[in-house]
Amino acid sequence: MGSIDSTEITSMRNYPENSVQSEKELHELTQFTIEWAHNNGLILRASEYKTTSDIAEFAPVSLFPSPFPHQAFDQIVAVHTTDRHIREMVKIVREAHEEGIKQPITLVIMRADYMLNSLKDSENDNEQQQQLEVKQIEVNTGAIVALGIDHRTTELHRQVLKRAGLNTLNSPDNVGDTNLAESLFMAWKAFGNSKALMVFLTVPSFGYKFDLHQLACKLKRLSNDQMDIEYVSHKDGQTQLKLGDDFSLLLNGKVVGVIYSCISALGYVITAASMEVRRTIERSTAIKAPSLAHAISSSKKIQQLLAMPGEVERFFPDPADADKVAAIRETFAELWGLDKNDDKTERLIENAIEHPEKYVLKPNRECGGNNFYDEKVSYILMQKLNPTTFKNYFLRPFHEPKLSTVVGELGIYGTLVGNILDGSVQHNVQSGHLLRTKLAGVNEGGISVGTGVGDSPYLF
């Protein structure tokens, strides 16, 4: 990506701390943030009461948008424009295809996650120039939710910047939730039955239920209140979702046009009943968001295979696209499969044991699966990055604001509506982003465990 003067990085690294002049101002900004969040839907179900909407908390959030190099942001946006669980899903996909594809229309919702990797200059101990590179962490095509939270976080941060006397032009627009609603609406119209249901597949303890209601309101407005929307838990789907004689997906006897899965197919607990729900959905005429085939494509094994020489080139065979291929490959972190029993793999494993600080062992599935399996293919070895750090205040319910050293992971959203039989594309849009920020030095960062918050980028 090139070099950025260390003085600019240093000044931006500490801008949140420098923007708060007193404890009184910090308190006022904190209270404004909490009240704005409650009044504008930047809320979650309370952590102790996730099965009910009676009690809400503001979503953990950074007080200021975190610094992010403008050049890196533009580069990321431009690049974007087999354990038992996965074996069972592959089996379902094969069965559905062998039986005949009942629904050619597909809706792909994806988010590609990137991190700023810092390359230290060994010839310059003072680090007057810091080399930064963009590296892709993962691609998610499974359960993509809470885009409204990301939008409202950006709007909140713009208000905080104004109150602190800072420029809001460095805060990029973030309307991924609008694009998601438009894509779901387009898929529903493509189904061709105005009486068909839009179904949100969730779990009883779904923390982002308020955000789902915001999405439902957008869909109601887009459809002039013609769309009927139902929320179904995965457990209830075992009895309420049935396959009709014509392969229609039926919810309590009503035809389902689109089913939007808000829970990850790669992270859900394996049971025979849950797999049967997935099998029923996959075999049906309902438009899936996503289909199991697309969910499987975001497994770490597929990403590792895609990073191998010649694989990206298969999708861009035109020599005129060579620069595009190079730009994509430049963002790939090193990935290694562990499924081969050869000398190269054994040497790799030995090196990882000797130098664990250089590697991360990534599970093939999503949702932080920490189980170990007999098959080595269940894990992918990945280059460990050295993310650039900045300062920011973390705000969490019932906690005082705390200035911390943090690192961020930028996700870019995109949606596509197309026909898998004839290859036609009706809608292909990159819109919206997510910045997830966690405490530096913490391996597993997340809102639920208290080490991460929602954030937005402040470009420099």
pLDDT at position 122? 43
Same domain, 320 and 451: yes
Q: Annotated binding residue at 363?
A: yes
Same domain, 42 and 115: yes
Domains of the chain: total = 2
Same domain, 306 and 373: no
Three-class secondary structure of residue 215 per DSSP: helix
Same domain, 328 and 342: no
Q: Annotated binding residue at 438?
A: yes
Q: Annotated binding residue at 152?
A: no
- For 213-258, the pLDDT digits (tens) are 999 999 999 999 999 999 999 889 999 999 999 999 999 999 999 9
Same domain, 172 and 200: yes
310: DSSP letter? T
- For 3-51, the pLDDT digits (tens) are 555 567 777 999 999 999 999 999 999 999 999 999 999 999 998 999 9
Q: Which of 69-78, 107-116, 206-215, 445-454 has the lowest mean pLDDT?
A: 445-454
Q: Annotated binding residue at 379?
A: no
Mean pLDDT of 334-349: 74
| Largest separation between any pair of C-alpha atoms in the chain | 72
pLDDT band at 377 (very low <50, low <70, confident <90, very high): very low
Across 137-173, b (16+ Cβ under 10 Å) vs e yields: bbbbbbbbbbbbbbbbbbebbbebbeebebeeebbbe
Q: How far apart are CA 261 and CA 291, in angstroms?
A: 9
Same domain, 282 and 415: yes
Q: Annotated binding residue at 362?
A: yes
Residue listed under structure tokens 């391996």 = 443
Same domain, 217 and 305: yes
Same domain, 98 and 120: yes
Q: Annotated binding residue at 193?
A: no
Sign of CA dihedral 177, 424, 95, 293: negative
Q: Annotated binding residue at 254?
A: no
Mean pLDDT of 144-156: 98
317: DSSP letter? -
CA angle 169, 173, 176 (to 5 degrees): 170
Range of the domain at 348: 334-384
Instruction: Indicate the pTM of the whole model.
Output: 0.86
Q: How far apart are CA 277 and CA 281, in angstroms?
A: 6
Q: Annotated binding residue at 351?
A: no
Q: Residue 198's closest CA among 257, 264, 128?
A: 257
Three-class secondary structure of residue 7 per DSSP: helix
pLDDT at position 93? 63
Q: Which residues contact 436 (CB under 8 A, 6 or more apart)?
A: 408, 409, 411, 445, 452, 454, 455
- For 79-109, the pLDDT digits (tens) are 877 445 455 655 766 777 788 889 999 999 9
Three-class secondary structure of residue 439 per DSSP: strand
Residue type, 152: R
Q: Annotated binding residue at 224?
A: no
Same domain, 370 and 292: no
Instruction: Judge whether residue 124 has pLDDT over 70.
Output: no
Q: Residue 135's closest CA among 370, 385, 446, 427?
A: 385
351 vs 1: which has the higher pLDDT: 351
Q: Annotated binding residue at 365?
A: yes
Mean pLDDT of 359-372: 55
pLDDT at position 96? 76
420 vs 175: which has the higher pLDDT: 175
Same domain, 228 and 358: no
Q: Among 384, 405, 422, where does a domain finish? A: 384
Q: Annotated binding residue at 436?
A: yes
- For 277-336, the pLDDT digits (tens) are 999 999 999 999 999 888 877 666 666 777 778 888 887 888 888 888 888 888 887 777
Q: Annotated binding residue at 207?
A: no
Write the DSSP assignment of 11-77 as a string of letters. Answer: HHHTHHHHH--SHHHHHHHHHHHHHHHHHTT-EEE-TT-TT-SSSEEEPPEESSPEEE-HHHHHHHH
Same domain, 352 and 294: no
Same domain, 307 and 356: no
Q: Annotated binding residue at 25?
A: no
The CATH number of the domain where 357 resides is what? 3.30.1490
- For 262-276, the pLDDT digits (tens) are 987 665 556 778 889
Q: What are phi and psi of 60, to 5 degrees?
A: -50, 135
Q: Annotated binding residue at 366?
A: yes
